[in-house]
Structure 1
Amino acid sequence: MIPDSCSFCQGKLVWKNTDVAIQKADSERVVVEVAAYVCDTCREVYYTPEVSRQLDRIAYSK
């Protein structure tokens, strides 16, 4: 469940695309763009469970 406000600064969360850099298990570095909730004050990023699972699959794929 996504909170209504940022856990760190209480800022407003905005749904938008953001880049994520992933260090894969084989040392390859990959940058992907995903949709996430981003705090409009401190820029903390909150991923949905589905996006988090996708990022895990990318990180641990060969």
Structure 2
Amino acid sequence: MSRKKLVVPEARQAFEKYKMEIAKEFGVDDPRALASRHTGYIVRDLVKMGEEQMINKDS
């Protein structure tokens, strides 16, 4: 994974925490072991979270 400079540096730490939560949910000890099949779930979850934030922001 490339380590590009983030616009929001705190995002890296938040994303690592999120990956740990997802790994735990799937019963995987090491988040680096998440397979591509998990990636779809992660993307859908992140999109859902973003949509909810946008909805709540407009309310």
Q: TM-score range by the shorter chain?
A: 0.3 to 0.5
Q: TM-score scaled by structure 1?
A: 0.33
Higher strand share: 1
Higher helix share: 2
Q: TM-score scaled by structure 2?
A: 0.34
